[in-house]
Structure 1
Amino acid sequence: MRRASSLKDKEVINVSDGTRLGMVSDVEINLNDGRIEGIVVPIQGKWFGLFGKDNEYIIPWESIIKVGDEIILVEMSESIVKKFLE
């Protein structure tokens, strides 16, 4: 079992195209049932998420393929990744 805090600062990589999406800064938790809904990754080049949620992306838990010691592998379509990196 892992703690939600162990996800922080892991690098997120999209296996669909090898894109490095950034580092996990936080997690989204559903307080009603205590489940992790997704991971929060600041959008690169936009002040690292310091200015609100418009500068971060929440990757749904269902998109996560594997959580390793240093990286998290996700599978996201090219159109979503393109929007993420714009």
Structure 2
Amino acid sequence: MMVSELQMKDIIALETGERMGHITDLDIDVETGKIKALVIALKGKMMGLFGKDDEVVIPWEQIINIGTDVILVKKPFASPPESTKMIE
């Protein structure tokens, strides 16, 4: 599967059915080549026009299923640490 295919899928919270957003980045272990986490921009902001997009890091262990149209994830997960946030 290509990254562009993952980016097209909606991220859905398993517990609530809430559409959370789309993948903006991947955290990959350079030693093994495996995906460690997905980074998503939360739904609701207009591409940063009204402020900085909120991002959430979803560890690979929280991913329940990757389907043809959606990725089901289990909450809770955390916002990225300050050191990984972009400097304005």
TM-score, normalised via structure 2 length:
0.69
Question: How many aligned residue pairs are there?
Answer: 78
**Relative to total residues, which structure has the larger helix share, 1 or 2?**
1
2:1 is the counterpart of 1:22: no
Change (3 A) 1:49 1:40: farther
Cα distance in 1 for partners of 2:44, 2:4 equals 24
Question: Matched residues in 2 for 1:58 and 1:34: separation?
Answer: 18
CA contact under 8 A between 1:26 and 1:39: conserved in structure 2? yes
User: Are residues 67 and 49 of structure 1, via their aligned partners in 2, closer, same or farther at CA, if it must alter by over 3 Å?
Assistant: farther
Residue 7 of structure 1 aligns to a residue whose secondary structure is: helix
Q: Deviations along 1:24-74, whole A, 9 cap, x unmatched?
A: 12211111211101111113344546987x831111111111101111001
Return structure 1 stretches of 4+ with deviation > 6 angstroms: 49-52
Cα gap change, 1:45/1:66 in structure 2, threshold over 3 Å: closer, same or farther? same
Say what the alpha-carbon RMSD is for the aligned residues. 2.7
43-52 vs 23-32, which moves further:
43-52
Rg: which structure is higher? 2
- Structure 1 unaligned regions, length at least 5: none
The percent of aligned pairs where both chains have the same amino acid is 36
- Unpaired runs of 5+ in structure 2? 80-88
C-alpha distance in structure 2 between counterparts of 1:46 and 1:18, whole Å: 19
CA contact (8 A) 1:42 1:49 kept: no
1:49–1:55 Cα contact (<8 Å) kept = no
